[in-house]
Amino acid sequence: MCGIVGYVGPNSSLDVLLAGLSRLEYRGYDSAGVAVLDRAGHLGTRKRAGKLVALLDDLEVEPLRDGETGIGHTRWATHGRPNDGNAHPHLGDNGKLALIHNGIIENFSELKQELLDAGETFTSETDTEVAAIMVGREFRATGDLAEAMRRVVARLEGAFTLLVMHEDVPGVVVGARRNSPLVIGLGDGENFLGSDVAAFVEFTRRALEIGQDQIVTIRPDSVVVTDFDGNDVEPREFEVEWDASAAEKGGWSSFMAKEISEEPEAVANTLLGRVVEGAIHLPELDPIGDDVLASIDRIVVIACGTAAYAGLLGKYAIEKWARIPVEVVLSHEFRYSEPVIGPRTLVVSISQSGETMDTLMAVKYASQAGARVLSICNTQGATIPRESEAVIYTHAGPEVAVASTKAFVAQVTALYVLGLHLARVRERLSAHQIAEQVSELQQIPAKLADVLVSSERIKQLATWMADTRSVLFLGRHVGYPVALEGALKLKELAYIHAEGFAAGELKHGPIALIEPGQIVFVVVPSPRDPLSLHPKVISNIQEIKARGARVIAIAEQGDTAAIALADEVIPIPLAPPLFEPLLAVVPLHIFGMELASAKGLDVDQPRNLAKSVTVE
Ligand code: F6R
């Protein structure tokens, strides 16, 4: 959950580190810190609780002497409160070594006791300081920073990315990773390390993946990667597809506003190259193969949060088109239910970051249990794709706002593309039927652009409702995951109690919540819906209106029943039922953002959250 950046090279370390941290702040933002080796060979550190700006202000008042080697960190607290003392870097070897960490060292209590018994003292409540002191001791014994790191990681349990630097070895940063992200940026006479490529994309788009249980040593002119035993490893190089400007706000008031505006593009880019003359083209699935895909008897989707709601929509589409049973399981629940999976199960993980620890662990469990594992992921060089047999990358571009928006519509698009591919290999849909669905899918970006036109009206509604304490969301069939997503966005962005329900469930309990003035969003199916759900949901609206609810309907343009009953209708363009959620979700993304803004909250960095949840 923390953001990590490391630099060796001729330029100002501080400039590189602070630029990297500002791009990584979405990963964690309760404190930040840097360590720099100045040109006289002295290690200086500075760290502050609060957002990055607190550190920047501090450096403004009292500058740190700059140099050519440095590490930087933005924290999301696990062990120890977010205060100056617990912020990273932590020091070892009498202040000559600085270390930063992402993850959790699970056996830190026993290691700390061992160090206390050996006479070491601690200045923080963190698990990280244990690693700093241990690496310092091993460096004193070996004089070799990479070897010291190797000896220490052999004793650590849990998940970690560690970066370390030492006064006695200028121009060197050593990193290690286990179940936590780290990538290398390759420069010209300079090299970088980062939790993700955002840390260094401003300086280079050439990157190297680092695998599990590996150690990397960067110098200005070399990069050496080994496994934890010291054997050389050849890392895979890749080109970062987006540039620094893609991660800038570009004139928008927030990253979230920008990312919602990019929802049409996220769908279009995820389809790009995957539709050839009306047919689905997914060479990424070759490592699994059509024969295997034709013979699987079940799909289990694993994901968390918004990605899991995308999975629920994938279930409707895949079951309808390919006639394979699909189960959607929250990643953190998956392994504990002793799932019945084997070689004929396709496990599909969905993760924007590709680093969510719960999903990563579920992916590993599924592989070990012999299932076939496919990932849907938005982040190149991330861990989950590396642990999977095949990956369908969503091309939503970098998502910086902590709450997911454009990644969601891209994930749904990728699942639909997968569903149509499966329908072909299993001969459940003809080429003509697939071409019809593909054509509908290709029209979604333009229709999404139409939905964005309602933004101003939704902003007005949100502003009027700024004092609301509770909002309910109802949906049926594919509208149900949309209701869940609308409620999640409101909770996490505006800190308002919000719940999503399947509309049919209303009379089985939740209707008791309805009292005069209760705001209820209702995702209304199309009146042309072949499942005839429209009149049922209209009846639900009547039931809650009769009890005094204020209803905001997300309904197809021209839905006269919805217009007659609801207090407000947000229109969406006509689309077949399976594709409606891609359109209906956007007003709810806008509503969550605008209500949070109306309350004066930071929509990009809601409290207590982190963009990628790299602890279980
Ligand atoms: C909600 C949100 C989270 C993520 C979840 C999974 O707005 O962003 O619920 O969807 O933490 O994250 P990824 O997709 O990175 O695995």
- Residue 482 CB burial class (10 angstroms; 0-12, 13-18, ≥19): buried
Q: Are 74 and 56 in contact (CB under 8 A)?
A: no
Residue among 417, 416, 415, 397 at smallest CA distance from 407: 397
**Residue 179 pLDDT greater than 90, yes or no:** no
Instruction: Tell me the pLDDT tens digit for each residue of 224-274.
Output: 999 999 999 999 999 988 777 777 777 788 999 999 999 999 999 999 999
- Ligand 1 centre to CA of 261 (Å) is 19
pLDDT for the residue 609: 86
> How far away, in angstroms, is 309 Cα from ligand 1 center?
10
pLDDT surpasses 80 at 203 = yes
For ligand 1, atom 16: residue with the closest CA = 351
Place of tokens 């969601």: 408
Structure tokens at 146: 């990479």
d(C-alpha 354, C-alpha 351), whole Å = 5
Question: Which residue in this structure is represented by tokens 């060292």?
Answer: 105
- The DSSP line for 360-372 is HHHHHHHHHTT-E
Query: Which whole number is the average pLDDT over 571-599?
Result: 97
Looking at domain 3-246, its CATH class is: alpha beta
In three-state secondary structure terms, 309 is helix
270-284 per-position pLDDT tens digit: 999 999 999 999 999
Q: Is the CB of 612 under 6 A from ligand 1?
A: yes
- Under a CB-based contact definition with an 8 Å cutoff, are residues 66 and 60 in contact? no
pLDDT over 80 (residue 406): yes
pLDDT reported for residue 180: 81
**Which among 434, 355, 315, 331 is positioned nearest to 102, based on CA atoms?**
355
Q: Residue 79: pLDDT above 90?
A: no
Q: Given pLDDT bands bounded at 50, 70 and 90, which one contains residue 204?
A: very high
What CA–CA distance (Å, rounded) separates 555 from 89? Answer: 52
Per-residue pLDDT tens over the stretch 120-174: 999 999 999 999 999 999 999 999 999 999 999 999 998 899 999 999 999 999 9
The mean per-residue pLDDT over the stretch 410-414 comes to 98
Q: Check residue 291 and give its pLDDT.
A: 97
Q: What secondary structure letter does DSSP report for 161? A: E
User: Is the Cβ–Cβ distance between 380 and 396 less than 8 Å?
Assistant: no
Q: Give pLDDT, residue 431.
A: 97
Given pLDDT bands bounded at 50, 70 and 90, which one contains residue 30? Answer: confident
- Is residue 331 in contact with ligand 1, taking CB distance under 6 Å? no
| CB-ligand 1 contact for 307 (6 Å cutoff) | yes
For residue 511, the SS3 value is: helix
What is the distance between the alpha carbons of residues 64 and 47, in angstroms, rounded to a whole number?
11
Nearest Cα to 302, choosing from 270, 336, 268? 336
**Amino acid in position 469:** R
| Residue 80 in tokens | 């120890």
Question: Which active-site residues does the annotation give?
Answer: 2, 611
Q: Judge whether 393 and 407 are in contact, CB under 8 Å.
A: no
- State what percent of residues in the chain have pLDDT above 70: 100
The fold of 451-603 is Rossmann fold (3.40.50)
Model confidence at 598: pLDDT above 90:
yes
Asked whether 382 lines ligand 1 (CB < 6 A), one says no
Instruction: Kindly tell me the burial class for residue 198, based on how many C-beta atoms sit within 10 Å of its own C-beta (0-12, 13-18, 19 or more).
Output: buried
Centre of ligand 1 from the C-alpha of residue 307, in Å = 6
* Extended beta strands in 76-172, E state: 90-92, 97-105, 158-166
Q: At what angle do helices 128-142 and 108-117 cross, to 10 degrees?
A: 50
- To the nearest whole percent, how much of the chain has pLDDT over 90? 86
Ligand 1 contact via 305 beta carbon (within 6 Å): yes
CA distance 184 to 108: 27
The residue-averaged pLDDT of 374-387 equals 92
CATH class of 249-442: alpha beta
Task: Verify whether ligand 1 is closer than 6 Å to residue 352 (CB atom).
Answer: yes
**Helix 263-271, helix 431-452: angle, nearest 10:** 160
∠ CA 457-558-520, rounded to 5°: 50
Query: Average pLDDT of the chain?
Result: 94
Identify the H or E element spanning 217.
Answer: strand 214-219
CA-nearest of 95, 98, 38 to 63 is 38
Span 281-308, pLDDT tens digits: 999 999 999 999 999 999 999 999 999 9
Tokens of 311: 């999975």
Q: Are strands 214-219 and 222-227 parallel, antiparallel or unpaired?
A: antiparallel
Cα(271)–Cα(558) distance, rounded to whole angstroms?
29
Rounded to the nearest whole angstrom, what is the distance from the C-alpha of residue 354 to the centroid of ligand 1? Answer: 10
Prior bond of 89 cis (ω within 30°): yes
Q: What's the pLDDT tens digit per position in 505-531?
A: 999 999 999 999 999 999 999 999 888
Distance CA 193, CA 91 (A): 19
CATH 3.40.50.10490 domain locations along the chain: 249-442, 451-603
pLDDT at site 38: 94
- The one-letter code for the residue type at 468 is T
Beta bridge partners of 178: 160
473 close to 483: Cβ distance less than 8 angstroms: yes
**Ligand 1, pocket-test mutation among 180, 259, 306, 485, most atoms within 8 A of CB:** 306
The ranges of the chain annotated as CATH 3.60.20.10 are 3-246
